[in-house]
Amino acid sequence: MRTWTRLLLLVIVLAVVAGVPSHATPADPIRIAFVDPLSGPFAATGENGLNQFKYAADGINKAGGVLGRQLEIVGFDNKVSPQESLIQLKKVIGENIQFVFQGNSSGVAHAISDAVQKNNERDAANRILYLNYSAVDPALTNEKCQYWHFRFDAHSDMKMAALTDVIAANKSIKKVYIIGQDYSFGKAVAEAAVTMLGKKRPDIQIVGNELHPIGKVKDFSPYVQKIVAAGADTVITGNWGADMVGLAKAANDGGLKVPFYTYYAASDGITAAIGAAGIDRIRLVHETHPGNPNAPKALGDYITGYRKLHPQNDVNQPRINTGLNMLAQAIKRAGTTDVDKVAAALEGAEFTTLGGDHVVMRKEDHQLQMPVYISVHTNKNIKYDLDASGYGLSLEHKVEREKAMQPTTCKMQRPA
């Protein structure tokens, strides 16, 4: 009997000793790649995105992580170049990272989506998942859709549908000028604007449809002059980063006082650059509550926490939090980081965002179905300002998820 109890004790002690290390030392982190510009003209945009990913990951880690593991965000600089992105993607695969977030530039997004698809067909053992948090060319979830790509931002047609609704309702708008960057996204914006305005307000005249090289224009004054000369009373632009700063500054200087309907005219120095000249004139179509007025509490706390860490930067892409949390949930539900199972768990997944919106990852095309917001640049009643400038965005109009939904032409090839 004594030997039996001794043996039992020994077994228990051994089990505890053997068991302790596996609980006390944290398991390997789940590494997640962030492939976006960290140098060059768009570095500011990429850097702020990376910080928001780290901040969102911190939140998940503090709440216990995923499957007992921590999330670790690893930045890869792709210089917004499709070629460089493919090199970085090889590095990502080489480091055994399975999840890739990218968002800046749809040109890059197409290249990565392609490469990921090929990699996953070739090498079923080392598959990777492409999570797109910001590249909004509709083609990515339509004719070019593929199983390993998931998008967490409303694509440009969803946004344009909302924008053109607002424009259509404003009877004083007669002459619209469209200006954008010369690549897939800029072209998609222009095309959607022309078709949708043509349907909703055939009386509106498109007085200009201009594409300029992306990241190369030094002074936008000549473009602004052209807009003035065309007699436009409204401008639509999909410009982002330095190209939006330049356009806004030149418009201020050139005395162009017409309203701007934009996709990205906020944060990363843009709000500060626009300043007083843009009050009630610059509007933005985006995917989450702008924080003013009356931000939902979860969003407000999230913004406050981020501003404590990065006083000069803003939470300008709350979809980063949505994307990362949806991935974390999918990994939890799959019970593994196996890409096949995580992808399956993401399909049809539902989530409630910081702004309190209920969003759904549509199975047919992997496009997150979400409401679309339209906000205006102002300094009145701004609790959460941008660029620490006193100016911020205030909610004007919300299109609910069901109304923002767009049909898809995607015929997805699913892995056997």
Partner 1 sequence: MLQLVVFSLLNGLVYGMLLFMLSSGLTLIFGMMGVLNFAHASFYMLGAYFAYTLSQHLGFFPALLLAPVLVGLLGALVERHGLRRVHRFGHLAELIFTFGVAIVVGEIVQLVWGRPAKSYQVPAVLDVPLFRLWSSSFPAYKAFMLVIAILIFGFIFVVLTRTRAGLIIQASLTHPQMVAMLGHNVPRVFMIVFGIGSALAAVAGVIAGPVLGTFPGMAEVLGSIVFVVVVIGGLGSVTGAFVASLLIGIVQTFAVALNGSFGDALLAVGVPESASGPLHDVWKVTVAQVAPVLPYVLLVAMLIVRPTGLFGTRET
Write out the residues near partner 1 by the rule CB under 8 A. Answer: 40-44, 47-48, 182, 210-213, 216-219, 221-223, 225-226, 228-229, 231, 242, 245-246, 249, 253-256, 268-270, 272-273, 275, 312-313, 387, 389
Of 191 and 364, nearer to partner 1 (C-beta) is: 191
Q: How far is the CB of 193 from partner 1 (least distance, A)?
A: 18
Of 195 and 312, nearer to partner 1 (C-beta) is: 312
Give the chain as a 3 state SS string: CHHHHHHHHHHHHHHHHHHHHHHHCCCCCEEEEEEECCCCCCHHHHHHHHHHHHHHHHHHHHCCCECCECEEEEEEECCCCHHHHHHHHHHHHHCCCCEEEECCCHHHHHHHHHHHHHHHHHCHHHCCEEEECCCCCHHHHCCCCCCCEEECCCCHHHHHHHHHHHHHHCCCCCEEEEEEECCHHHHHHHHHHHHHHHHHCCCCEEEEEEEECCCCCCCCHHHHHHHHHCCCCEEEECCCCHHHHHHHHHHHHCCCCCCEEECCCCCCCHHHHHHHHHCCCEEEEECCCCCCCCCCHHHHHHHHHHHHHCCCCCCCCCHHHHHHHHHHHHHHHHCCCCHHHHHHHHCCCEEECCCCCEEEECCCCCEEECCEEEEEEECCCCCCCCCCCCCEEEEEEEECHHHHCCCCCCCCCCCC
Q: How far is the CB of 137 from partner 1 (least distance, A)?
A: 18
Q: How far is the CB of 136 from partner 1 (least distance, A)?
A: 22
Q: How far is the CB of 297 from partner 1 (least distance, A)?
A: 28
Of 43 and 279, nearer to partner 1 (C-beta) is: 43
Of 52 and 120, nearer to partner 1 (C-beta) is: 52
What Rg, from alpha-carbon coordinates, does the chain have? 23
Q: How far is the CB of 177 from partner 1 (least distance, A)?
A: 12
Of 10 and 276, nearer to partner 1 (C-beta) is: 276
Of 38 and 343, nearer to partner 1 (C-beta) is: 38
Q: How far is the CB of 269 from partner 1 (least distance, A)?
A: 3
Q: How far is the CB of 328 from partner 1 (least distance, A)?
A: 27
Of 163 and 265, nearer to partner 1 (C-beta) is: 265
Of 239 and 367, nearer to partner 1 (C-beta) is: 239
Q: How far is the CB of 206 from partner 1 (least distance, A)?
A: 13
